[in-house]
């Protein structure tokens, strides 16, 4: 359960935000036209915070999450981590930073169907290391993967493939895969969007526990207000900008 009713504010004013974006603009090109999605978004995330981003379908929530997690680059504005700008780094540095700092969870899990649960979770560590390094440390990596799988309550499903798991189990597996590399920030895009209400609640309990017990920083996108309220703070994306609910009304 959340510790308290979340505050609903456009941004947290703090001298030293951990993850921040300023004046983000992003448009997608469709033929000759540019369709503006984000128009001057400012956002800050404190270390250890659990922040929800809400907004209607198509308001740009996923786009914002992708910019924060270096999956895409803004047209204008900047993203910074620990006060250092990161969106303009060379692509290879951004890739390395993304793999090390951010863990991602998506609505449709994005597990690899031909791999077992254990192999899916290990894949995070595989892509992070050379073949030689991975081979040398494989025992340690296996232990880390098994321990993370146990933490999300799937120790009895190690050898199962995604098609043999329920939706909730697949999302738990995706969370284990995101966290096995010990990221500093978990970026979750509609993590309960494909689940029934009860299973969605269980996934939210897992996320709030990870945030409370391990001080994991979480930024979650959702269109579901009840789900959003499980976080400590909510920001609302509307017409390309972050607004308080009072502004949006
Ligand atoms: N790669 C792309 N090319 C063109 N347009 C895109 C692309 N990605 C997103 N868009 C458009 O940008 C807008 C914002 O999309 P985005 O997925 O960020 O919204 P969202 O708030 O996450 O929506 P939903 O809640 O439905 O997932 C939408 O109008 C979408 O059609």
Q: What is the mean pLDDT of each run of 10 residues along the chain (249 residues)?
A: 47 68 94 92 95 94 97 97 96 94 94 97 93 94 96 95 96 95 95 92 94 95 93 93 57
Residue 140 lies in a domain: yes
**Probe residue for ligand 1, chosen from 56, 62, 107, 108 as the CB with the greatest number of ligand atoms within 8 Å:** 62
Tell me, yes or no, whether 131 lies in a domain: yes
Nearest CA to ligand 1 atom 5: 28
Here the CATH number for the domain that contains residue 146 is 3.40.50.300
Q: Which domain covers residue 52, as residue numbers?
A: 7-248
Count of domains observed in the chain? 1
**Terminal-to-terminal C-alpha distance of the chain:** 27
**pLDDT computed for residue 12 by the predictor:** 45
Ligand 1 in contact with 130 (CB < 6 A)? no
Q: Which ligand 1 atom is nearest residue 60's CA? A: 18
Task: Find, among 192, 200, 222, 234, the residue nearest to 61 by Cα.
Answer: 222
3-state secondary structure of 37: strand
Alpha carbons 87 and 117: distance in angstroms, whole number: 32
Give the per-residue pLDDT at 203.
Answer: 93
C-beta of residue 162 within 8 angstroms of C-beta of residue 111: yes
Contacts of 36 (CB under 8 A, 6+ apart): 25, 26, 27, 240
- Return the residue whose CA atom lies nearest to atom 2 of ligand 1: 28
Q: Check residue 244 and give its pLDDT.
A: 54
* Residue pLDDT, tens place only, 137-149: 999 999 999 999 9
Instruction: Work out the burial of residue 65: count CB atoms within 10 Å of its CB; fewer than 13 is exposed, 13-18 middle, 19 or more buried.
Output: buried
Q: DSSP H helical segments within 4-68, as ranges?
A: 61-68
In 10 A of CB 63, how many CB atoms? Answer: 23
Inside any domain, residue 1 = no
| Cα gap 243→239, rounded to integer Å | 9
Q: What are phi and psi of 144, to 5 degrees?
A: -65, -40
Helix H or strand E encompassing 67: helix 61-68
**Pocket of ligand 1 contains residue 240 by CB under 6 Å:** no
Token pair listed for 69: 């997690």
37 lines ligand 1 (CB under 6 A): yes
Q: Can you tell me whether residue 65 is helix, strand or coil?
A: helix
| pTM, to two decimals | 0.90
> In this predicted model, what pLDDT tens digit does every residue of 161-205 receive, in sequence order?
999 999 999 999 999 999 999 999 999 999 999 999 999 999 999
d(CA 177, CA 152): 10
For residue 73, give Cα distances in angstroms to 90, 91, 227, 241: 11, 10, 28, 17
The confidence score (pLDDT) of residue 6 equals: 55
Residue 2 maps to a domain = no
pLDDT, position 155: 96
Q: Whose CA is nearest to atom 6 of ligand 1?
A: 28
């Amino acid at each position: 359960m959340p510790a308290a009713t979340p505050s609903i504010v456009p941004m947290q004013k703090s001298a030293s935000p951990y993850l921040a974006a300023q004046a983000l603009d992003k448009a997608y090109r469709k033929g000759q036209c540019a369709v503006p999605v984000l128009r001057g978004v400012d956002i800050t995330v404190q270390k250890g915070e659990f922040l929800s981003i809400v907004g209607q379908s198509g308001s740009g929530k996923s786009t914002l999450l992708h910019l924060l997690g270096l999956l895409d680059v803004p047209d204008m504005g900047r993203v910074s981590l620990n006060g250092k700008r990161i969106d303009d780094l060379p692509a290879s540095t951004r890739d390395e930073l993304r793999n090390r700092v951010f863990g991602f969870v998506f609505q449709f899990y994005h597990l690899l169907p031909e791999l077992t649960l254990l192999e899916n979770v290990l894949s995070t560590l595989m892509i992070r290391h050379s073949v030689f390094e991975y081979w040398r440390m494989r025992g340690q990596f296996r232990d880390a993967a098994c321990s993370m799988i146990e933490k999300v309550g799937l120790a009895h499903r190690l050898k199962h493939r995604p098609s043999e798991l329920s939706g909730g189990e697949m999302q738990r597996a995706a969370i284990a895969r995101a966290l096995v590399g010990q990221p500093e920030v978990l970026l979750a895009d509609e993590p309960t969007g494909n689940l029934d209400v009860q299973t969605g609640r269980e996934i939210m309990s897992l996320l709030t526990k990870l945030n409370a017990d391990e001080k994991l920083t979480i930024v979650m996108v959702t269109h579901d207000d009840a789900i959003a309220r499980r976080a400590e703070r909510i920001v609302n994306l509307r017409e390309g900008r972050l607004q308080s609910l009072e502004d949006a009304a």
